Structure 1
């Protein structure tokens, strides 16, 4: 039997996963957790972090087109704030909104859970005798 709470919970979880979808969403949010960044700084820092990890999360660098798409979606969902200045607004900065900061704090326990699973799986692989 499915009660109303389960349906509501599932819908909320689906909305969250949709919000986090996109290959670079978490990388962008994590980079903005450090503080406000210009568009160029954000692009460079995301790619630098991925390169330092040996491109384990992504096969190729984040492109300007893909970053723009992710930023528009995050801004439309009120997870980041955009600030534009200069002639024709050619200087643009991004930062996490209050909702984005709250979401990031909620993601940290999930990241810890995922890391624990990887450790446990690695330990099980070491202790499992070959077939």
Structure 2
């Protein structure tokens, strides 16, 4: 596969503004569905909603989880019974993607201010 196509493929997998947040939340281990939404929103609130203008909604989370399952990034386990919990966890592919994102995040941190200067923005003090 050509390099450009590979980059475009991974960008397609990362589509949606909440995919990375879900990857990060599940990096800590298998998590109940009902705990994901508050956990992700708590992190966003703690860092001052830098990446997202509004909190994650239940509908958007459900769409994100479904898409990530289709892409093979996460697995779903449902407990039997009418009150059984649904659990999500990263697959080996999901862990691999999360590891591959680390150098990209480091690049973004290292180049954050130089990109702002080039665009005329000033860093927050």
TM-score, length basis structure 2: 0.87
User: Where does 1:88-127 land on structure 2 (aligned, <5 Å)?
Assistant: 88=82, 90-121=84-115
> Residue by residue, what CA displacement relative to the aligned partner does 1:80-109 show, whole Å, maximum 9, x if unpaired?
010001314741000100000011011001
Residue 51 of structure 1, aligned match among 15, 30, 45: 45
Residue equivalent to 2:8: 14
SS in 2 for 1:83: strand
CA distance in 2 between counterparts of 1:32 and 1:11 reads 27
Q: Once superposed, what is the RMSD of the aligned Cα atoms?
A: 2.1
Q: CA deviation at 1:41?
A: 1.0
Query: Is 1:66 aligned to 2:60, yes or no?
Result: yes
The structure in which a higher percent of residues are helix is: 1
For 1:85, the equivalent position in structure 2 comes to: 79
Question: How many aligned positions are there?
Answer: 120
Unaligned runs of 5+ in 2: 120-125
For the residue of structure 2 that corresponds to 1:60, the secondary structure is coil
Which residue of structure 2 aligns with residue 38 of structure 1? 32
CA distance in 2, matches of 1:89, 1:71: 20
